[in-house]
Amino acid sequence: MTQETPLAGRVALVTGAARRRGIGRGIALVLARSGADVAVNDVAEDEQGAERVREVEALGRRAVFVNADVRDPEAVRRMFDTAEEALGPVDVFVNNAGVCVWQNVREVDREAFDLIMGVNLAGALLCCREAAQRMVRRGRGGRIVIISSVHAQMPFPRMAVYGATKNALRALSDHLALELAPHGITVNHVGPGWVDSDINLASPDLRTQADRQRTLDAIPLHRPAEPEDIGAAVSFLASDAAAYVTGAFLRVDGGFVVGKYTRIAEVAP
Ligand SMILES: NC(=O)c1ccc[n+]([C@@H]2O[C@H](COP(=O)([O-])OP(=O)(O)OC[C@H]3O[C@@H](n4cnc5c(N)ncnc54)[C@H](O)[C@@H]3O)[C@@H](O)[C@H]2O)c1
């Protein structure tokens, strides 16, 4: 382990990490650059998973792709089994898989509700449960990082159900941090702001150039987050430097939340 590779010798598993423009890819690549071997999970086509494996391997680390639906407890168990058989016990679990459907509360249909709750909340519970059981059994501590969102704290039009799941992830993360502290396992959650990934292709607020400019204007650092900005936060939380950090929420949002009133008040340069 060196300063450049603080995660050397560790094994990480990242859910929802196969897509080219996704946050999960950014997390996987930063973890690999930090020295970790990485298991990549997704329900996306195997070809995208294979691409992520090649990218991690090109960084000199070991990698495996596991196609598994995080809503299915049996598939989740198999996902951990496959990752462990290929790479060894998982030291760092990153719960990143997530979905959004934009609907006003008046329009929310049961199918969309079940999908968002299923992936974002039930999936997180199933995966964190499996990770926690295995880490406790092994008795060597561990790191769990849950990808939440600024919308855990910042209400937004047509994102009530999504926001509710992300807010619930705060409770899950905090309770888990308490439960797992005696076992040397830290649990934290990270709140990305706007990342230009596939999840936002269906966002009604990012359709036109003018929409995108409005969003940029509301972000004090005036750019979307890069997936690797989120990866850097995860890598820190997974490292020994964050040994004393548990139950924390780390926003990586270019100031989106603190800047939410900038449309009604000029911020002096
Ligand atoms: N992009 C943003 O602006 C933004 C902002 C805040 C938080 N987030 C969160 O970041 C995480 C990653 O999202 P992203 O922006 O990279 O979008 P994305 O759509 O690229 O990534 C989500 C990934 O989850 C996978 N997935 C969906 N359902 C799954 C399931 N049942 N089992 C396993 N994998 C599944 C998808 O195939 C996809 O690869 C999500 O939790 C999202 O809520 C995104």
Its pTM stands at 0.97
C-beta atoms surrounding 85 within 10 Å: 9
Asked, for residue 269, whether it belongs to a domain, the answer is no
Residue 190 Cα to chain centre, angstroms = 7
Asked, for residue 55, whether it belongs to a domain, the answer is yes
Asked, for residue 3, whether it belongs to a domain, the answer is no
Asked, for residue 111, whether it belongs to a domain, the answer is yes
| CA pair distance 234, 30, nearest whole angstrom | 9
Nearest 5°: the CA angle 26, 31, 36 is 150
Q: Which helix (H) or strand (E) holds 175?
A: helix 160-180
Asked, for residue 264, whether it belongs to a domain, the answer is no
The torsion angles phi and psi of 199, rounded to 5 degrees, stand at -55, -30
What's the total number of domains in the chain?
Answer: 1
Asked, for residue 259, whether it belongs to a domain, the answer is no
| CA pair distance 26, 231, nearest whole angstrom | 5
Q: DSSP letter at 128? A: H
What is the residue range of 95's domain?
11-252
Q: Which of 149, 173, 197, 239 is catalytic?
A: 149
Q: Ligand 1 pocket test: pick from 197, 203, 256 the residue with the most ligand atoms within 8 Å of its Cβ.
A: 197
pLDDT string in tens for the chain (269-residue length)? 677 899 999 999 999 999 999 999 999 999 999 999 999 999 998 999 999 999 999 999 999 999 999 999 999 999 999 999 999 999 999 999 999 999 999 999 999 999 999 999 999 999 999 999 999 999 999 999 999 999 999 999 999 999 999 999 999 999 999 999 999 999 999 999 999 999 999 999 999 999 999 999 999 999 999 999 999 999 999 999 999 999 999 999 999 999 887 766 666 66
Closest Cα to atom 17, ligand 1: which residue?
A: 199
Kindly report the CATH number assigned to the domain that includes residue 239.
3.40.50.720
Asked, for residue 260, whether it belongs to a domain, the answer is no
